[in-house]
Amino acid sequence: MTHGDNDVIEKWSGSDGYPFVIRYLNRTAGAREGTIWAARYDGENNPAVSSKARINDGVFHHVAFVKRSSRLALYIDGVLEATVEDSTTGETKNEGPLFIGARGGRGNFFSG
């Protein structure tokens, strides 16, 4: 996926699988500016959900990315935005650090 993003929180280790990523799509994302994108990755499968709601209104918002059984769900301010089947298999854990406000490799800093 090509998009402009600011990372809110990410647990990723290069090309290895990552348990989760939550990204805020910024002004370079075009029509998707102000939305949230969240995903998991196991090295092959990459199920993702995107919000319809925009959160670029200067107000704090609660964002939750939930895995329940075989489904992933994205909530904003307690409202379900999207769901998808979690097609990842095997372990998605890694030894990489947890990044808050940045992407692994010290890029895509959150600005807001």
Q: Is residue 60 part of a domain?
A: yes
> Contact, 20 vs 54, CB < 8 A?
no
User: What is the spatial distance between Cα 51 and Cα 15, in angstroms, rounded to a whole number?
Assistant: 25
- Structural domain that includes position 83: 5-100
Tokens (6 digits) for 30 = 């075009």
Per-residue pLDDT tens, the chain, 112 aa: give them.
444 566 666 666 556 667 778 888 776 667 888 899 999 888 889 999 999 999 989 899 999 999 999 999 999 999 999 999 999 986 666 666 776 766 665 656 666 5
Tell me, what CATH number does 64's domain have?
Answer: 2.60.120.200
For residue 66, give the amino acid letter: V
The 3-state DSSP class for residue 89 equals coil
Q: Is residue 40 part of a domain?
A: yes
Nearest C-alpha neighbor of 49 from the set 29, 31, 61, 64:
64
Report how many domains make up the chain: 1
